[in-house]
Amino acid sequence: MALKMNAAELTAFLLAEFPQVADEFDITDLSAARLEVALRVGDKHLRPGGTVSGPSMFALADVAAYLHILSLIGPKALAVTTNCGIDFMRKPSAGVDLLCKNEVVKLGRSLAVCQSLIYSTDQTQPVARANLTYSIPRDG
Amino acid sequence: MALKMNAAELTAFLLAEFPQVADEFDITDLSAARLEVALRVGDKHLRPGGTVSGPSMFALADVAAYLHILSLIGPKALAVTTNCGIDFMRKPSAGVDLLCKNEVVKLGRSLAVCQSLIYSTDQTQPVARANLTYSIPRDG
Amino acid sequence: MALKMNAAELTAFLLAEFPQVADEFDITDLSAARLEVALRVGDKHLRPGGTVSGPSMFALADVAAYLHILSLIGPKALAVTTNCGIDFMRKPSAGVDLLCKNEVVKLGRSLAVCQSLIYSTDQTQPVARANLTYSIPRDG
Amino acid sequence: MALKMNAAELTAFLLAEFPQVADEFDITDLSAARLEVALRVGDKHLRPGGTVSGPSMFALADVAAYLHILSLIGPKALAVTTNCGIDFMRKPSAGVDLLCKNEVVKLGRSLAVCQSLIYSTDQTQPVARANLTYSIPRDG
């Protein structure tokens, strides 16, 4: 499957549409088979006890899935998250970036389904596992 | 089932343990059967298009479930979210607080399960549905 | 919201469309707010150790959600399950029927979302919690 | 990670513990990284319209995860499913076996987390995606 947006185009899109959060994320790899996005972990993502918050991991999985779908269908579509499941499996490291590896397992006309694993970049085992469903609007 | 912490004690606990986010949340009702928590929606919770972000709704459901479990088991336990499922069902209103109504459907020795509905306070139908599982550490 | 099918019509529909399993299920209560369906637990639903199998509980939650949606939209639509989440919380009793209490929390044009609690009829606490999403086909 | 049970031992275990369903499943590949199990699709797995039922796919994902965990921890443990999430993505082919490819993404002392993709053996794209959590009892 051919990409309709490359990493630079996705980054520009993120900056234009989500300026509040765009600087937290870095696309580190992109193909039809896999998108990798890093979360630059800062103070606002941390929780007492030295770990990254659950909402930060949710946000990372959501951005990864969203950008991957956009890379396949192009920028005009406004996909909306309809369902998300996450298993929090290990404690993320506090001062270390997170990396989300996303896969699009279904790209239908009205629904897309993604799954991803999230890693602390200093650990070999994933800290979380996520699945997300997006509703894709029909063209008008 | 008797409560081991009341709303004032939970609020003090939240302020002590999660100072970064405590002022975003207000406990508006508490019983063994139901905890209601409001998210004071501010600029940082918004998304372009005039809506509240998914991570903000996740954070609200997570706080509601966590506080409800603590109210039933007391402050010494350090419960950890292990699984979360959310359905995003309607678009939240942008300038309006969210209200999460949580129910503890299982309180076991090692796992607790909660479910909740999230409302924009100007809408009658829920904007999201969530379920969360917490792992409860054994006493040492 | 008015019902478009009553319990007798749903039972006839189940018998016509799903003859292999229709005799396992009994609609015991129906309103727009709640559908209750019993699973008549027989040998084929049991697992060693004296409990009801997970797939049997999944099937019960799926039938309950499906029939409830049909009662609200009528028999012509062919809704399809797209997502299901279940928490198995307690051990069901072996020789005892299960009762599923379902609620439709969203009924949109293209997606419907349900949640339910499943009880062994000799226990007061639920044995499982489920959420299901159905895709509703557009009219041709 | 070394296997504590091989495919023949898992098959014998399934036959001894779950005699009602053991003959429906075939382990076709096993390593620490991946377990593949086939469901021999028969009449009882079918639904009108020529497809395999949701409960049959749930049962397949559950057996795959269970056997994979057992292969890693050995036969003495009695793991119990606590949570399952499934996305039904495409229509399975009616007269064709299903193949489930499972991965254990966390194996902790008290919780194990698996994820899997399910294929109709005549299609290249997966028909379903599942994640399951098992509670592992502590030794007495």
CA distance C55 to C58: 5
pLDDT of residue C140: 41
Burial class (CB in 10 A: 0-12, 13-18, 19+), C113: buried
How far apart CA B120 and CA B77 sit, in angstroms, is 31
ipTM of the complex: 0.94
Task: Give residue B50's pLDDT.
Answer: 78
Which has the closest alpha carbon to C45: C5, C92, C86? C92
Q: Which residues from B are below 8 Å from A54, CB to CB?
A: 58-59, 62, 81, 84
Residue in D87, D106, D126 closest to A89 by CB: D106
Mutation target to probe the C interface, by most C beta carbons within 10 A, among B83, B84, B87 is B87
Q: How far is Cα A11 from Cα D6, in angstroms, rounded to an integer?
A: 47
Domain boundaries, chain D: 7-135
Whether B130 and B86 have beta carbons less than 8 Å apart is answered as: yes
Neighbouring CB atoms inside 10 A of D62's CB total: 23
pLDDT, position D78: 76
Q: Which residue of D has its CA nearest to C81?
A: D88
Mean pLDDT across chain D: 93
The closest of D39, D4, D135 to D78, measured between CA atoms, is D135
Q: What is the pLDDT of residues D19-40, one digit of tens each?
A: 888 899 999 999 999 999 999 9
pLDDT at A81: 95
Average pLDDT, chain B: 93
Residue that the structure tokens 């928490």 belong to: C87
Q: Cα B74 from chain centroid?
A: 16
Which among C9, C48, C51, C49 has a CA at the least distance from the CA of C27?
C9
Q: Under an 8 Å CB criterion, which residues of C touch B?
A: 85, 87, 89-90, 105-106, 108, 113, 115, 117, 125-126, 129, 131, 133
Cα distance between residue C21 and residue C80, in whole Å: 17
Q: How many residues does chain D have?
A: 140
The arithmetic mean of pLDDT across residues A21-44, rounded, is: 95
* Confidence (pLDDT) at A128: 98
Q: Which residues of C touch D (CB under 8 A)?
A: 17-18, 20, 44, 46-48, 53-56, 58-59, 62, 80-89
CA angle in degrees (0–180, nearest 5) for C22-D130-A68: 130
Collect all residues of chain A within an 8 Å Cβ-Cβ radius of residue D106.
87, 89-90, 125-126, 129
Report the alpha-carbon angle B48-A16-A78, nearest 5.
Answer: 55
Q: Give CATH for domain C7-135.
A: 3.10.129.10
Instruction: Please say if the pLDDT value at position B77 is more than 80.
Output: no
Is residue A139 predicted with pLDDT exceeding 70?
no
Distance from CA of C102 to the nearest CA of A (A): 19
CA distance B25 to chain D (A): 29
Q: Over 60: is that where the pLDDT of A96 sits?
A: yes
Nearest chain D CA: its distance from B116 CA (Å): 17
Alpha carbon distances (Å) from A65 to A138, B64, D69: 19, 26, 28
Q: What whole-number distance in Å separates Cα of residue D12 and Cα of residue D9?
A: 5
pLDDT at C93: 92
Residues of chain C with pLDDT under 50: 140
Gap between the terminal Cα atoms of chain A: 24
CA separation for the pair B102, B118 (Å, rounded): 9
- Percent share of chain B, pLDDT over 90: 76
Look-up of token digits 């044009």: C109
pLDDT tens per residue, range B27-75: 999 999 999 999 999 988 888 777 899 999 999 999 999 999 999 999 8
Closest CB from D46, D80, D84 relative to C86: D84
Mean pLDDT of B67-92: 92
What is chain A's mean pLDDT, rounded? 93
Confidence of residue B140 (pLDDT cuts 50, 70, 90): very low
Q: In the structure, what pLDDT confidence band is assigned to residue D140 with cuts at 50, 70 and 90?
A: very low
**What is the number of other CB atoms lying within 10 angstroms of the CB of residue B139?**
7
Structure tokens at C51: 């409990």
Question: pLDDT per residue over D52-111, tens digit each?
Answer: 999 999 999 999 999 999 999 998 667 899 999 999 999 999 889 999 999 999 999 899
Confidence of residue A104 (pLDDT cuts 50, 70, 90): very high
Please check the confidence at residue B9 and state whether its pLDDT lies above 90.
Answer: yes
Specify whether the CB–CB gap between D109 and D124 falls below 8 A. Answer: no
The residues near B139 (Cβ < 8 Å, ≥ 6 apart) are: none
**Residue of chain D whose alpha carbon sits nearest to that of C91:** D80
The Cα D111–Cα A91 span in angstroms is 14
> Between B126, B129, B133, which is nearest C131 by CB?
B129
Residues of B with CB under 8 A from a CB of D: 82-83, 85, 110-111, 133, 135
